[in-house]
């Protein structure tokens, strides 16, 4: 049954904690999913959250911490000693989640935690996971998996699988390796159950499975798993040796984080911020794009000021400046958003030239339709022929330019290995405002001759 955390329940839980009823509240919450308990933890005061967590089993606390927002988790971890983190938390987590938590600790605390891990091999694995670059498959993977040797018989294979599975909470796949730990393929459970126990594994496994290297960007991992409907993908090193595996739950987190980052970039926010971010963090994230917008506004004002004499002669030109600027910005954002989405999904589908030609064609159709509508409305409203022509022709050219500009900029940024999401939002809008005004006044000069 789904759990809904309403404002009434939040107040009820807070009252219970204030009355010292953490134990009773723990009994109520312990049967919920860790993600639901994490929601409660994030809504109460830090001191109360720590008291509440003490009422749960260590294994449940570990699962709850994984579900918490990073900033909340970091605050809570400060309440734990290095020994408690090692023995009570990390030992109850898969290696990928354990490495994520370990990586959030200060260096001194990190070394302290590793020193308290009883299993030397586990400590080594976690230390190795921390060496992988952030946002790569290596940083995302877990080392827990089931693997068999190609030279084993099915009987030997089943025996080894049982032994390995004792240390793993969930078995997603059985991988086949050679004597050098090079990944060869995966073993189907159906074939394992329907094949003679004396049959060598090399005769029944499935070769040439999709895989990623430890240096593969996490976005590429997500795209691969989405494309082939995979629930787990193996990770290998540059020699093809099996290192670990990445499951779909980790990839969903990547997709969510990337979508949030792209949305914030498109909205003019340079860094990742959340509702709980402090004033300095939010200001630092928003200010750069606001300054770009400010500079764009100053340039637009300068362009208008250079046309002061023309506007004095024909003040009606000024009435349509907001329309020209707004339409250019809207078309540019539309074009760039489509390209950014295609680039993010590795699904551009056509060549760069074809994409540009397609957007120009779309701009041509949209420009003609909008210009004809605008001309009809302005002519019907009684504006003189020359002014209606100036406005309509300018709108057409601005739409054409914005389509081309909004398409080409994300493609160029991607070519230069810059996140194309930075092209949307304030950047495209500001650039199209400035160039749109240039086009508008140039057409006015051409038609009216002033």
In a domain, 263, yes or no: no
Are both 229 and 316 inside the same structural domain?
no
Please check whether residue 185 lies inside any domain of the structure: yes
**C-alpha to C-alpha distance for 114 and 83, rounded to whole angstroms:** 9
**Whether 226 and 302 share a structural domain:** no
* Residue where one domain finishes, among candidates 135, 156, 187: 135
- Provide the residue range defining the domain that includes 248: 146-257
Distance CA 189, CA 203 (A): 14
Greater model confidence, 61 or 409: 61
Same domain assignment for residues 252 and 392? no
> Given strand 206-207, what is the order of strands in its sheet?
146-149, 174-177, 183-186, 206-207
Tell me what pLDDT residue 263 has: 57
Which of 135, 155, 180 finishes a domain?
Answer: 135
- Mean pLDDT of all residues belonging to the chain: 84
Give a yes or no: residue 141 inside a domain: no
Q: Are both 302 and 360 inside the same structural domain?
A: yes
Q: Report if pTM > 0.75.
A: no
Of 351 and 155, which is predicted with more confidence? 155
Residue 379 forms part of a structural domain: yes
Q: Is 243 in the same domain as 317?
A: no
Residues 288 and 436 in one domain: yes
Contact between 239 and 177 (Cβ < 8 Å): no
The answer as to whether 60 is a domain residue is yes
What pLDDT, on the 0 to 100 scale, is given for residue 450? 59
Q: Closest by alpha carbon to 359, among 340, 341, 335?
A: 335
* Residue 360's CATH number: 1.10.357.20
pLDDT tens-digit readout, 166-195: 778 788 899 999 999 999 999 988 888 888
- Indicate whether 76 and 154 sit together in one domain: no
Question: Residue 95 contacts by C-beta under 8 Å, 6 or more apart in sequence?
Answer: 122, 125, 126, 129, 142, 143, 144, 244
| Sequence-separated (6 or more) residues with CB below 8 Å from residue 420 | 336, 339, 340, 343, 344, 409, 410, 411, 413, 414
CA distance 404 to 331: 10
Question: What pLDDT sits at residue 262?
Answer: 63
* Contact yes or no for 178/133 (Cβ under 8 A): no
**Together in a domain, 129 and 150:** no
More confident position, 427 or 160:
160
Residue of higher predicted confidence among 236 and 306:
236
DSSP string of 314-370, one letter each residue: -THHHHTHHHHHHHHHHHHHHHHHHHHHHHHTT---S-HHHHHHHHHHHHHHHHHHH
Last residue of a domain, one of 192, 223, 257: 257
| Confidence tier at 108 by pLDDT (50, 70, 90) | very high
d(CA 240, CA 209): 12
Q: Are residues 156 and 128 in the same domain?
A: no
Quick: pLDDT tens for 27-51: 989 989 999 999 999 988 888 888 8
Phi, psi for residue 371 in degrees, rounded to 5: -65, -40
Averaged pLDDT for residues 78-89: 92
Q: Provide the CATH number for the domain around residue 57.
A: 1.25.60.10
SS3 152: coil
| Residue 267, in any domain of the structure | no
The pLDDT tens digits for 204-250 are 999 989 999 999 999 889 889 888 889 999 999 999 999 999 998 88
Is 263 in a helix, a strand, or coil? helix
Residues 287 and 208 in one domain: no
Give the model's pLDDT for residue 360. 83
For residues 131 and 253, membership in a common domain is answered with: no
Question: How far is 140 from 244, CA to CA, in rounded Å?
Answer: 10
Q: For 263-290, what is each residue's pLDDT tens digit? A: 555 555 555 555 555 667 666 656 676 6
Contact in structure between 428 and 268 (CB atoms under 8 Å): no
Same domain flag for 247 and 362: no
Angle (deg, nearest 10), helices 22-29 and 46-53: 70
The tally of domains found in the chain comes to 3
Query: Would residue 269 count as lying in a domain?
Result: no
CATH number for the domain that contains residue 211: 3.10.580.10
264 in any annotated domain: no
């Amino acid at each position: 049954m789904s759990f809904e955390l309403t404002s009434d329940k939040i107040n009820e839980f807070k009252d219970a904690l204030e009355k010292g009823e953490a134990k009773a509240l723990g009994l109520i919450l312990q049967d919920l999913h860790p993600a639901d308990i994490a929601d409660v933890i994030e809504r109460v005061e830090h001191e109360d959250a720590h008291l509440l967590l003490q009422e749960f089993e260590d294994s449940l606390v570990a699962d709850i911490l994984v579900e918490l927002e990073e900033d909340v988790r970091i605050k809570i971890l400060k309440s734990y000693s290095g020994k408690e983190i090692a023995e009570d938390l990390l030992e109850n987590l898969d290696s990928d989640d354990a490495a994520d938590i370990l990586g959030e600790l200060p260096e001194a605390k990190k070394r302290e935690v590793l020193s308290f891990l009883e299993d030397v091999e586990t400590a080594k694995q976690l230390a190795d996971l921390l060496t992988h670059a952030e946002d790569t498959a290596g940083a995302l993977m877990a080392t827990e998996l089931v693997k068999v040797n190609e030279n084993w018989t099915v009987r030997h294979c089943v025996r080894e699988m049982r032994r390995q599975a004792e240390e793993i909470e969930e078995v997603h796949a059985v991988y086949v390796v050679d004597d050098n730990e090079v990944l060869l393929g995966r073993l189907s459970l159906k074939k394992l159950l329907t094949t003679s126990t004396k049959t060598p594994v090399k005769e029944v496994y499935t070769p040439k499975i999709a895989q990623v290297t430890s240096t593969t960007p996490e976005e590429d991992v997500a795209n691969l798993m989405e494309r082939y409907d995979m629930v787990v993908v193996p990770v290998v090193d540059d020699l093809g040796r099996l290192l670990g595996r990445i499951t779909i739950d980790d990839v969903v987190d990547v997709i969510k984080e990337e979508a949030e980052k792209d949305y914030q970039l498109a909205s003019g926010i340079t860094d990742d911020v959340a509702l709980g971010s402090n004033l300095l963090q939010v200001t630092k994230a928003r200010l750069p794009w606001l300054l770009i917008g400010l500079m764009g506004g100053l340039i637009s004002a300068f362009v208008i000021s250079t046309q002061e004499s023309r506007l004095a002669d024909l003040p009606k030109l000024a009435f349509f400046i907001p329309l020209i600027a707004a339409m250019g910005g809207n078309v540019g954002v539309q074009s760039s958003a489509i390209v950014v989405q295609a680039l993010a999904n590795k699904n551009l589908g056509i060549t760069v030239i074809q994409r540009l030609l397609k957007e120009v064609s779309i701009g041509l159709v949209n420009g003609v339709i909008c210009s004809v509508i605008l001309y009809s409305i302005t002519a019907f409203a009684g504006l003189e022929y020359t002014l209606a022509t100036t406005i309509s022709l300018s709108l057409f050219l601005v739409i054409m330019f914005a389509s081309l500009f909004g398409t080409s900029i994300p493609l160029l940024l991607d070519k230069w290995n810059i996140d194309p999401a930075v092209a949307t939002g304030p950047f495209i809008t500001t650039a199209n405002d400035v160039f749109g005004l240039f086009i508008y006044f140039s057409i006015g000069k051409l038609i009216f001759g002033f």
